[in-house]
Amino acid sequence: MASKTKRTPNAKFMAPVTPDEVLAEIVGSKPLPRTQITKKIWDYIKKNGLQDKKNKRMINTDEKLGKVFGNKKQISMFEIAV
């Protein structure tokens, strides 16, 4: 039986990124790994009830979140991780 190799985290995702002014309104201004930025965006979406009630894969943006995603009124959940 082959032994499992320990999975190492992807350094690109773990490298701290400083959010721009628009994103900082949602996630704060401290440098964070991309994974934590995505988590904080999801926390904001859930806290403000922005997930579409019928199609949970879609997010209805408010003023702050809309600025982050090019003033779109609705985005796909897959656009958050990009």
Residue 40: give its domain's CATH number. Answer: 1.10.245.10
Residue 5 lies in a domain: no
The span from the CA of 50 to the CA of 26, in Å, is 13
Q: For residues 10 and 34, which has the higher predicted lDDT (pLDDT)?
A: 34
The residue with tokens 């796909």 is 76
Residue 21 Cα distances to 10, 25, 36, angstroms: 26, 7, 17
Residue 3 lies in a domain: no
Which amino acid appears at position 21 of this protein? E
Residue 1 lies in a domain: no
Boundaries of domain holding 22: 16-79
What pLDDT, on the 0 to 100 scale, is given for residue 77?
93
- Band the pLDDT of 59: cuts 50, 70, 90: very high
Q: How many domains does the chain have?
A: 1
The span from the CA of 79 to the CA of 7, in Å, is 26
* Mean pLDDT confidence for 58-67: 95
The span from the CA of 80 to the CA of 70, in Å, is 12
**pTM for this structure?**
0.81
